[in-house]
Amino acid sequence: MDPVRNPFAPGAGSQPPQLAGRDHIIEDAETALQRVLRRRHARSQILLGLRGTGKTVLLNKIEQAAEHHNHLTSFIEAPEDNALADLLYPRIHQVLRRLSSVEAARSTAYRAMRALRAFAGAFRITMGDFSISVDPEDGTADSGNLEYDLTDLFLRVGEAARDARRGWILLIDEVQYLSEDELSALIVAIHRVSQKQLPILFFGAGLPQIAALSGNAKSYAERLFTFPTIGPLDRDAATAAIKRPIEAEGERIAKNALNLIIDRTKGYPYFLQEWGYQAWNAAKASPIKVADVEEAAKAALRRLDEGFFRVRFDRLTPKERDYVLAMAKLGAGPYRSAEVAEALGETVQALGPRRAKIIHKGMIYSPSHGDIDFTVPMFDDFLRRTVP
C-alpha cells in the first residue's frame, strides 16, 4: 500500500494517530488544569511506566490541553548531567516576560524577575545570550539552598500568574534523572504553591521507581501527586490503536492479522506503532493479512534491535552488560538479585554498586525489595536473540 499514506508514527514521543486507552489520564489532567485556574485544589501528576509506553506522548498531550486552557507551559527533559536550576532558569525567564506584558501582573512579574535574578546569582547560573536587567531581591531565592530558594521563586511566579489570570504548567520528562535534593525541592515548592492556591501545576513522567523516590524525598508526596501507571494497552485499546488509523485511510486489516500484531507487541504502544507501520508497508493491497504481518515482524525487529534496544545496550560498560545478560539468561523477569548474583558467581553485596549504576542509567529498576527487572519491554528477548 502507499507508504506516503502510512498513518503510523513509530518515534520517540511521536503523537500516534489514535491515542487509545489513556482517556482517564487526560480527563484527570483536564480537570486539574481547569480547577487550578479557579483557585480550587488540584493535584499534580507524575506518570509512571516502562520505556515505550507513551509517557512522553501523554505529557505532550497534557501540554496542549494546558495551552488550550490559557496556561503558560514549560517543557523540560531532565538529562543525567544538568542541574535542575540551570534547566528552569531560561524557562521561567520566558514565562515571566510573557506575564509582564499583562498590565494587571506587571508589578508582580517584576518582583518575580528580581527573585529569578537572585536565584541565578545564588546558583551561579550562566546567563548565556541574555541577561535580566533588574536588581536581585535581597533575601528572596538567594540562600543557596535549593529547597528554600525554589519555593520562593515558585511563589513569586505563581503570584504573577494569578494576577495575569493565567496559570503556569511545568512538565518534566525523565524525572528519575533528577537528584534526590532536586526532587525534594520540587515537591516542596509545588506543595507550598498548592497551599497558597496559586495557579501552578507540575506534570512529570518517569520510570516506575519515581513513586518510591518521591515518597522518600517527602512523606506527603503521595497526597500532593497522583501517580498514574502507564502500562501496555488492553486488547480493546490495542485493537483501536491499530484498526482505526487503517480504516481512517479507507483500508482494512484482517482480524487474525490484527490479533497477531497485538500478540507480538504485547500491547506496548511504541511496538504497536512499529508493527503497524511495517505491516502497512509490507502489504501489497488491502486488507493487511497475516503474511504481511509476518513479513513486517522481520523489519520491525530489525529496526528495534538497531535503534530502540541497541542504543540502550551500548550505554553499558562491559561489566554492566554481563549483569543484564545474566538477567536475560534467567528467562522472563522480574528477577531476584540473588539469582543474578549466583549466575555471575558473586555475592549480592559485591554486585550492589554495579546494580546501582545500571539503575541510574535507567536500564533496570526494582519493582519490589530484592527484585529487579528491565525498564525496556522485551529487552530480555533482544539480548537472547542478538548477543552471543
Rounded to the nearest integer, the mean pLDDT of the chain is: 93
- Which tens digits make up the pLDDT trace of 289-318? 999 999 999 999 999 999 899 999 999 999
> Rounded to whole angstroms, what are the CA distances from 360 to 206, 308, 316, 357?
12, 18, 11, 5
State the pLDDT at residue 128. 61
Pairwise CA distance, residues 301 & 305, whole Å:
6
Q: Tell me the H-state helices in the chain.
A: 23-37, 55-68, 84-99, 106-122, 146-163, 180-195, 210-217, 221-224, 235-248, 255-265, 269-282, 290-303, 310-313, 318-329, 337-344, 348-360, 379-386
Per-residue pLDDT for 24 more than 90? yes
- Which tens digits make up the pLDDT trace of 140-168? 999 999 999 999 999 999 999 999 999 99
Per-residue pLDDT for 187 more than 80? yes
**Look-up of cell digits 513479513:** 295
CATH architecture for residues 235-312: Orthogonal Bundle (1.10)
Domain 316-386 has CATH 1.10.10.10: yes
**Look-up of cell digits 549504576:** 357
Spell out the residues 6+ positions from residue 22 whose beta carbon is closer than 8 angstroms to its own. Answer: 54, 58, 61, 230
**Cα angle, residue 208 at apex, residues 145 and 303 outer, rounded to 5°:** 115
For range 38-62, the mean pLDDT: 94
For range 129-142, the mean pLDDT: 79
Residue 125 pLDDT level (bands cut at 50, 70, 90): confident
Pairwise CA distance, residues 333 & 168, whole Å:
40
Pairwise CA distance, residues 44 & 150, whole Å:
17
For range 339-363, the mean pLDDT: 95
DSSP structure class, residue 288 = B
Per-residue pLDDT for 382 more than 70? yes
Do residues 52 and 376 make contact, with C-beta atoms less than 8 angstroms apart?
Answer: yes
Q: Tell me the H-state helices in 78-172.
A: 84-99, 106-122, 146-163
Q: In what order do the strands lie in the sheet with 364-365?
A: 335-336, 371-374, 364-365
Pairwise CA distance, residues 252 & 86, whole Å:
50
For range 210-217, the mean pLDDT: 72
State the pLDDT at residue 129. 55
- Which tens digits make up the pLDDT trace of 361-371? 989 999 888 89
Pairwise CA distance, residues 87 & 160, whole Å:
20
Looking at the domain 23-226, which fold is it? Rossmann fold (3.40.50)
State the pLDDT at residue 18. 86
State the pLDDT at residue 127. 63
State the pLDDT at residue 225. 87
**Look-up of cell digits 550562566:** 126
Cell of 228: 498514574
Residue 2 pLDDT level (bands cut at 50, 70, 90): very high
Per-residue pLDDT for 123 more than 60? yes
State the pLDDT at residue 275. 97
Per-residue pLDDT for 76 more than 80? yes
Per-residue pLDDT for 213 more than 90? no
- Which tens digits make up the pLDDT trace of 320-347? 999 999 999 999 989 999 999 999 999 9
For range 81-102, the mean pLDDT: 94
State the pLDDT at residue 166. 97
- Which tens digits make up the pLDDT trace of 235-279? 999 999 999 999 999 999 999 999 999 999 999 999 999 999 999
State the pLDDT at residue 293. 97
Percent of the chain with pLDDT over 90: 81
Domain boundaries, the chain: 23-226, 235-312, 316-386
Residue 67 pLDDT level (bands cut at 50, 70, 90): very high
**Cα angle, residue 129 at apex, residues 97 and 111 outer, rounded to 5°:** 30
Per-residue pLDDT for 104 more than 70? yes
* Residues paired with 336 in a beta bridge: 371
Cell of 282: 509490507
For 194-226, the DSSP string reads HHTT-SEEEEEEE-TTHHHHHHHH-TTHHHHEE
Please indicate whether residue 99 or residue 217 has the higher confidence score (pLDDT): 99
Cell of 300: 520491525
